[in-house]
Amino acid sequence: MDFLKIKKEVKIKEHPRLISMFFSKYKIENYLDFMPSQMQVRDDSKDKSFLVDFRPGNKSIINTATKIYKYLLPFKFLLNLFRNYMIFSNILLDSKYSNIFMKLQNNSNATIYSKGKESYSIFKNVHKKIFKLLCSEKLIYPIYKNSYSDHGSAYHYFGTIPISRRKSRMSVNDLCQLNNFKNIYIIDGSVFDFKINKYPLGAIMANARRVAKEIKR
């Protein structure tokens, strides 16, 4: 931030996330060791944009959960025993509900913080709809466990130095070169200003490949 001469507060865009676990009435056969989304439900209307993805339980999810929540370690054997009956979901809200900020302090260190804006009530409304849907289809038992890790837990940060025609230090050109610094390329999520894309990994990887090809020419 010192290099970019950022002296004022900068908002970091992200999609706030609520993690939920449901218990399936049916055994889910899952032969994958990683955590891909198997199904998604989304609403892209302006007033309530959200996305919910569903992932069957597997060893990777159980390992991650027990690393984050240490109190689950004694139950790891049981969790793995019943993982094929678990459904994990991420509820991701629109970036307008992001509450992450960054500011350069006097000691030249960047501080990341939130301002206490609460989005949990929105999560509860969305979760209620998803829970009712799964129950009405008789896919799950009427029990669940939610985990809200507060602001910044989604890890999907983006939009701080976007691709733009404006010639400012806080933007890059179409080739992702930092303006006025042609040897500096920025190819992470910073260059995208997503409105409804709540899983930016594919777009980031495709853009990085595009830029790399252009540099090699």
- Give the residue ranges of DSSP H helices in 42-113: 59-68, 76-81
Beta-strand relationship, 100-104 and 10-12: antiparallel
CB 35 within 8 A of CB 67: no
Output helix, strand, coil percentages for the chain, rounded to the nearest 5: 30, 25, 45
Encode pLDDT of 105-126 as tens digits.
Answer: 776 677 788 886 678 888 999 9
The one-character DSSP state at 115 is: -
What is the pTM assigned to this prediction? 0.78
Tell me, yes or no, whether 134 and 185 share the same domain: no
- The answer to the question of residue 85 being in a domain is yes
Tell me, yes or no, whether 15 and 79 share the same domain: yes
One-letter amino acid identity for 75?
F
Tell me, yes or no, whether 133 and 184 share the same domain: no
Structural domain containing residue 126:
10-147
Encode pLDDT of 165-178 as tens digits.
Answer: 877 778 899 999 99
Encode pLDDT of 31-77 as tens digits.
Answer: 777 777 888 888 887 777 888 999 998 888 899 889 888 899 999 99
Encode pLDDT of 128-172 as tens digits.
Answer: 999 999 999 999 999 999 988 777 777 778 888 889 887 777 889
CA-nearest of 175, 178, 119 to 150 is 119
Tell me, yes or no, whether 137 and 176 share the same domain: no
* Domain total of the chain: 2
Tell me, yes or no, whether 19 and 125 share the same domain: yes
Tell me, yes or no, whether 114 and 143 share the same domain: yes
Q: Where residue 1 falls among pLDDT bands split at 50, 70, 90?
A: low
Give the Cβ contact number of residue 188 at 10 Å: 15
- The answer to the question of residue 84 being in a domain is yes
Tell me, yes or no, whether 67 and 98 share the same domain: yes
Tell me, yes or no, whether 100 and 22 share the same domain: yes
Q: How many CA atoms lie within 13 A of 76 on its CB side?
A: 15
- The answer to the question of residue 3 being in a domain is no
Does the pLDDT at position 30 exceed 80?
A: no
